[in-house]
Protein backbone atom coordinates (compact mmCIF):
# COMPACT_ATOMS: atom_id res chain seq x y z
CA UNK A 1 0.00 0.00 0.00
CA UNK A 2 1.34 3.46 -0.84
CA UNK A 3 0.20 7.06 -1.18
CA UNK A 4 -2.14 8.16 -2.50
CA UNK A 5 -4.45 5.80 -0.67
CA UNK A 6 -7.39 4.68 -2.74
CA UNK A 7 -10.53 3.50 -0.99
CA UNK A 8 -13.89 2.51 -2.40
CA UNK A 9 -14.99 6.14 -2.88
CA UNK A 10 -12.03 8.30 -1.88
CA UNK A 11 -8.51 9.15 -2.82
CA UNK A 12 -6.30 10.33 0.08
CA UNK A 13 -3.34 12.40 -1.01
CA UNK A 14 -0.90 15.08 0.14
CA UNK A 15 -2.12 18.67 -0.30
CA UNK A 16 -1.68 20.44 -3.64
CA UNK A 17 -1.86 24.12 -4.53
CA UNK A 18 -5.34 23.92 -6.00
CA UNK A 19 -6.68 22.76 -2.60
CA UNK A 20 -6.45 26.31 -1.24
CA UNK A 21 -10.05 27.37 -1.82
CA UNK A 22 -11.54 24.09 -0.63
CA UNK A 23 -9.33 23.99 2.46
CA UNK A 24 -10.21 27.60 3.25
CA UNK A 25 -13.89 26.73 3.01
CA UNK A 26 -13.32 23.73 5.27
CA UNK A 27 -11.14 25.29 7.93
CA UNK A 28 -13.03 28.57 8.28
CA UNK A 29 -16.41 26.89 8.78
CA UNK A 30 -17.50 27.26 12.42
CA UNK A 31 -19.04 23.78 12.28
CA UNK A 32 -15.54 22.42 11.68
CA UNK A 33 -13.95 24.61 14.34
CA UNK A 34 -16.55 23.53 16.88
CA UNK A 35 -14.61 20.53 18.17
CA UNK A 36 -11.08 21.47 17.12
CA UNK A 37 -10.24 23.78 20.04
CA UNK A 38 -7.30 25.93 18.97
CA UNK A 39 -5.92 23.46 16.43
CA UNK A 40 -5.65 24.35 12.77
CA UNK A 41 -5.87 27.48 10.68
CA UNK A 42 -8.97 29.63 11.13
CA UNK A 43 -8.61 32.17 8.32
CA UNK A 44 -7.28 32.35 4.77
CA UNK A 45 -3.76 33.55 5.74
CA UNK A 46 -3.57 30.63 8.15
CA UNK A 47 -4.65 28.19 5.46
CA UNK A 48 -2.09 29.73 3.09
CA UNK A 49 0.64 29.16 5.66
CA UNK A 50 -0.54 25.61 6.34
CA UNK A 51 -0.62 24.80 2.65
CA UNK A 52 2.80 26.32 1.99
CA UNK A 53 4.21 24.13 4.74
CA UNK A 54 2.82 20.94 3.29
CA UNK A 55 2.88 21.36 -0.48
CA UNK A 56 5.02 18.62 -1.92
CA UNK A 57 5.44 17.30 1.60
CA UNK A 58 5.20 13.66 0.64
CA UNK A 59 8.15 11.66 1.78
CA UNK A 60 10.12 14.52 3.28
CA UNK A 61 9.12 14.29 6.90
CA UNK A 62 8.39 10.80 8.20
CA UNK A 63 6.84 12.11 11.41
CA UNK A 64 3.45 12.89 9.94
CA UNK A 65 0.97 12.62 7.08
CA UNK A 66 -1.40 15.29 5.85
CA UNK A 67 -4.10 13.68 3.76
CA UNK A 68 -6.67 15.54 1.70
CA UNK A 69 -9.82 13.46 1.30
CA UNK A 70 -11.06 13.71 -2.27
CA UNK A 71 -14.02 11.97 -3.86
CA UNK A 72 -12.97 9.71 -6.69
CA UNK A 73 -15.95 10.40 -8.94
CA UNK A 74 -15.39 14.16 -9.26
CA UNK A 75 -12.20 14.96 -7.28
CA UNK A 76 -14.20 17.09 -4.84
CA UNK A 77 -12.31 17.84 -1.63
CA UNK A 78 -14.48 16.52 1.19
CA UNK A 79 -12.12 16.75 4.15
CA UNK A 80 -8.74 16.44 5.79
CA UNK A 81 -7.01 13.82 7.96
CA UNK A 82 -3.68 14.53 9.65
CA UNK A 83 -1.68 11.88 11.48
CA UNK A 84 1.63 12.30 13.26
CA UNK A 85 3.95 11.57 16.13
CA UNK A 86 2.19 11.60 19.49
CA UNK A 87 3.52 13.62 22.39
CA UNK A 88 1.49 11.42 24.70
CA UNK A 89 2.84 7.97 25.65
CA UNK A 90 -0.57 6.45 25.09
CA UNK A 91 0.53 5.48 21.56
CA UNK A 92 3.13 6.27 18.92
CA UNK A 93 0.97 8.45 16.64
CA UNK A 94 -2.31 10.27 16.92
CA UNK A 95 -4.51 12.16 14.50
CA UNK A 96 -7.12 14.79 13.80
CA UNK A 97 -9.67 15.06 11.00
CA UNK A 98 -12.52 17.09 9.61
CA UNK A 99 -15.14 16.64 6.91
CA UNK A 100 -16.96 19.61 5.42
CA UNK A 101 -20.55 19.75 6.71
CA UNK A 102 -21.98 19.42 3.19
CA UNK A 103 -20.26 16.05 2.85
CA UNK A 104 -20.96 14.57 6.28
CA UNK A 105 -22.85 11.41 7.16
CA UNK A 106 -21.73 9.69 3.98
CA UNK A 107 -19.21 7.52 5.77
CA UNK A 108 -16.23 9.42 4.35
CA UNK A 109 -14.41 9.99 7.64
CA UNK A 110 -14.82 6.34 8.59
CA UNK A 111 -13.63 5.15 5.18
CA UNK A 112 -10.61 7.45 5.26
CA UNK A 113 -9.61 6.73 8.83
CA UNK A 114 -9.85 2.98 8.34
CA UNK A 115 -7.56 3.13 5.32
CA UNK A 116 -5.09 5.50 6.97
CA UNK A 117 -4.84 3.42 10.15
CA UNK A 118 -4.16 0.31 8.12
CA UNK A 119 -1.59 2.13 6.00
CA UNK A 120 0.26 3.60 9.00
CA UNK A 121 0.26 0.29 10.85
CA UNK A 122 1.18 -2.05 8.03
CA UNK A 123 3.15 0.08 5.57
CA UNK A 124 4.77 2.65 7.88
CA UNK A 125 5.20 0.22 10.79
CA UNK A 126 3.59 2.60 13.27
CA UNK A 127 2.78 0.21 16.08
CA UNK A 128 0.06 2.10 17.90
CA UNK A 129 -2.19 5.06 17.10
CA UNK A 130 -4.66 6.88 19.30
CA UNK A 131 -7.36 9.45 18.85
CA UNK A 132 -9.68 11.37 21.08
CA UNK A 133 -12.71 13.57 20.89
CA UNK A 134 -14.81 15.79 23.09
CA UNK A 135 -17.33 13.88 25.18
CA UNK A 136 -20.10 15.56 23.17
CA UNK A 137 -18.61 14.73 19.78
CA UNK A 138 -20.69 11.63 19.10
CA UNK A 139 -19.99 11.63 15.38
CA UNK A 140 -16.23 11.49 15.90
CA UNK A 141 -16.50 8.78 18.56
CA UNK A 142 -18.68 6.79 16.19
CA UNK A 143 -16.14 7.20 13.37
CA UNK A 144 -13.26 5.94 15.48
CA UNK A 145 -15.19 2.91 16.66
CA UNK A 146 -16.42 2.15 13.15
CA UNK A 147 -12.86 2.43 11.85
CA UNK A 148 -11.79 -0.41 14.14
CA UNK A 149 -10.43 1.47 17.14
CA UNK A 150 -11.07 0.38 20.70
CA UNK A 151 -12.33 2.84 23.29
CA UNK A 152 -10.18 3.14 26.37
CA UNK A 153 -10.20 5.11 29.61
CA UNK A 154 -11.64 8.59 29.06
CA UNK A 155 -10.40 11.83 30.57
CA UNK A 156 -12.84 14.18 32.32
CA UNK A 157 -13.38 16.00 29.03
CA UNK A 158 -12.62 13.54 26.25
CA UNK A 159 -13.15 10.00 24.98
CA UNK A 160 -10.05 8.15 23.78
CA UNK A 161 -9.57 5.35 21.28
CA UNK A 162 -6.70 3.03 20.34
CA UNK A 163 -5.58 1.22 17.23
CA UNK A 164 -5.05 -1.62 16.89
CA UNK A 165 -7.42 -2.85 19.58
CA UNK A 166 -4.70 -5.34 20.62
CA UNK A 167 -6.51 -7.88 22.74
CA UNK A 168 -4.34 -9.55 25.37
CA UNK A 169 -5.65 -12.96 26.42
CA UNK A 170 -3.53 -12.84 29.61
CA UNK A 171 -5.01 -9.61 30.92
CA UNK A 172 -6.88 -11.26 33.79
CA UNK A 173 -9.60 -9.05 35.23
CA UNK A 174 -8.45 -5.92 33.44
CA UNK A 175 -9.80 -5.08 30.05
CA UNK A 176 -7.51 -5.90 27.19
CA UNK A 177 -6.96 -2.26 26.47
CA UNK A 178 -6.09 -1.35 30.05
CA UNK A 179 -3.54 -4.14 30.13
CA UNK A 180 -2.06 -3.01 26.87
CA UNK A 181 -1.76 0.59 28.02
CA UNK A 182 0.18 -0.54 31.09
CA UNK A 183 2.66 -2.32 28.87
CA UNK A 184 2.89 0.62 26.52
CA UNK A 185 3.42 3.16 29.28
CA UNK A 186 6.20 1.16 30.86
CA UNK A 187 8.07 0.87 27.59
CA UNK A 188 10.95 3.10 26.59
CA UNK A 189 9.85 6.45 25.13
CA UNK A 190 9.66 6.43 21.36
CA UNK A 191 12.15 8.65 19.53
CA UNK A 192 10.51 11.82 18.31
CA UNK A 193 11.38 13.55 15.08
CA UNK A 194 12.65 17.08 15.51
CA UNK A 195 13.33 17.69 11.86
CA UNK A 196 11.45 19.68 9.31
CA UNK A 197 8.12 21.38 9.68
CA UNK A 198 6.14 20.75 12.81
CA UNK A 199 4.59 17.32 12.36
CA UNK A 200 1.04 18.32 13.13
CA UNK A 201 0.83 20.36 10.05
CA UNK A 202 -0.02 23.73 11.48
CA UNK A 203 3.15 25.81 11.49
CA UNK A 204 4.61 26.91 14.80
CA UNK A 205 2.44 24.51 16.74
CA UNK A 206 3.99 21.17 17.61
CA UNK A 207 1.95 18.16 16.60
CA UNK A 208 -0.61 17.29 19.13
CA UNK A 209 -4.16 16.21 19.01
CA UNK A 210 -6.69 19.05 18.85
CA UNK A 211 -7.61 18.43 22.46
CA UNK A 212 -4.03 18.11 23.76
CA UNK A 213 -1.96 21.09 24.80
C1 LIG B 1 -16.33 13.94 12.98
C2 LIG B 1 -16.47 14.10 11.47
C3 LIG B 1 -15.08 14.14 10.87
C4 LIG B 1 -17.26 12.90 10.91
O5 LIG B 1 -17.26 13.00 9.50
P6 LIG B 1 -18.31 12.14 8.59
O7 LIG B 1 -17.71 11.98 7.26
O8 LIG B 1 -19.64 12.76 8.69
O9 LIG B 1 -18.31 10.77 9.39
P10 LIG B 1 -18.98 9.39 8.89
O11 LIG B 1 -20.08 9.71 7.94
O12 LIG B 1 -17.90 8.47 8.46
O13 LIG B 1 -19.55 8.80 10.22
C14 LIG B 1 -20.30 9.60 11.11
C15 LIG B 1 -21.15 8.66 11.93
O16 LIG B 1 -21.58 9.35 13.10
C17 LIG B 1 -22.99 9.33 13.14
N18 LIG B 1 -23.40 10.57 13.78
C19 LIG B 1 -23.34 11.80 13.29
N20 LIG B 1 -23.79 12.67 14.20
C21 LIG B 1 -24.14 11.94 15.29
C22 LIG B 1 -24.69 12.26 16.56
N23 LIG B 1 -24.94 13.51 16.90
N24 LIG B 1 -24.92 11.25 17.42
C25 LIG B 1 -24.64 9.98 17.09
N26 LIG B 1 -24.11 9.61 15.89
C27 LIG B 1 -23.88 10.59 15.02
C28 LIG B 1 -23.44 9.22 11.70
O29 LIG B 1 -24.74 8.72 11.61
C30 LIG B 1 -22.41 8.24 11.19
O31 LIG B 1 -22.74 6.94 11.61
P32 LIG B 1 -22.96 5.73 10.57
O33 LIG B 1 -21.65 5.57 9.84
O34 LIG B 1 -23.30 4.56 11.41
O35 LIG B 1 -24.07 6.18 9.69
C36 LIG B 1 -17.25 15.39 11.12
O37 LIG B 1 -18.46 15.41 11.83
C38 LIG B 1 -16.48 16.68 11.42
O39 LIG B 1 -15.71 17.15 10.61
N40 LIG B 1 -16.68 17.25 12.63
C41 LIG B 1 -16.01 18.51 12.99
C42 LIG B 1 -14.55 18.32 13.23
C43 LIG B 1 -14.31 17.24 14.25
O44 LIG B 1 -15.09 17.05 15.17
N45 LIG B 1 -13.19 16.51 14.08
C46 LIG B 1 -12.80 15.47 14.99
C47 LIG B 1 -12.07 16.09 16.15
S48 LIG B 1 -11.75 14.84 17.37
Summarised one tens digit per residue, pLDDT across range 164-203 is: 986 555 544 334 444 444 444 444 333 333 322 233 433 3
191 within domain boundaries: no
95 within domain boundaries: yes
67 within domain boundaries: yes
The most confident of the ranges 28-42, 109-123, 163-177 is 109-123
101 C-alpha to ligand 1 centroid (Å): 10
- Whether ligand 1 lies within 6 angstroms of the CB of 48 is answered as no
Nearest CA to ligand 1 atom 29: 105
200 within domain boundaries: no
98 C-alpha to ligand 1 centroid (Å): 9
Question: 191-196: long-range contacts at Cβ-Cβ below 8 A with a sequence spacing of 24 or more?
Answer: 192/63, 192/85, 192/87, 193/61, 193/62, 193/63, 193/85, 195/61, 195/63, 196/60, 196/61, 196/63
Give the range of the structural domain holding residue 117, as residue numbers without chain letter.
5-186
212 within domain boundaries: no
155 within domain boundaries: yes
Give SS3 for 115.
helix
Query: Is this structure's pTM higher than 0.95?
Result: no
114 C-alpha to ligand 1 centroid (Å): 14
Q: How many domains does the chain have?
A: 1
Cα separation of 93 and 162, whole Å? 10
**Of all atoms in ligand 1, which is nearest to the CA of residue 137?**
44
173 within domain boundaries: yes
CATH code of the domain containing 117 = 3.40.630.30
Residue 202's pLDDT is what?
Answer: 37
Cα separation of 76 and 106, whole Å? 14
- Whether ligand 1 lies within 6 angstroms of the CB of 63 is answered as no
Secondary structure of 8-24 in the HEC alphabet?
CCEEEECCCHHHHHHHH
Amino acid sequence: MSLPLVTERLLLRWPIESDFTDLSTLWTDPRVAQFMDDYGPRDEPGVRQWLDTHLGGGGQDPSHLQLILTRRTDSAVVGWLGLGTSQDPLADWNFGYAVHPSHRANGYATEALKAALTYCHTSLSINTIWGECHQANKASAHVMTSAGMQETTPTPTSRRFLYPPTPDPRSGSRTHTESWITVKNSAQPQPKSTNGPTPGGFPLVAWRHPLRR
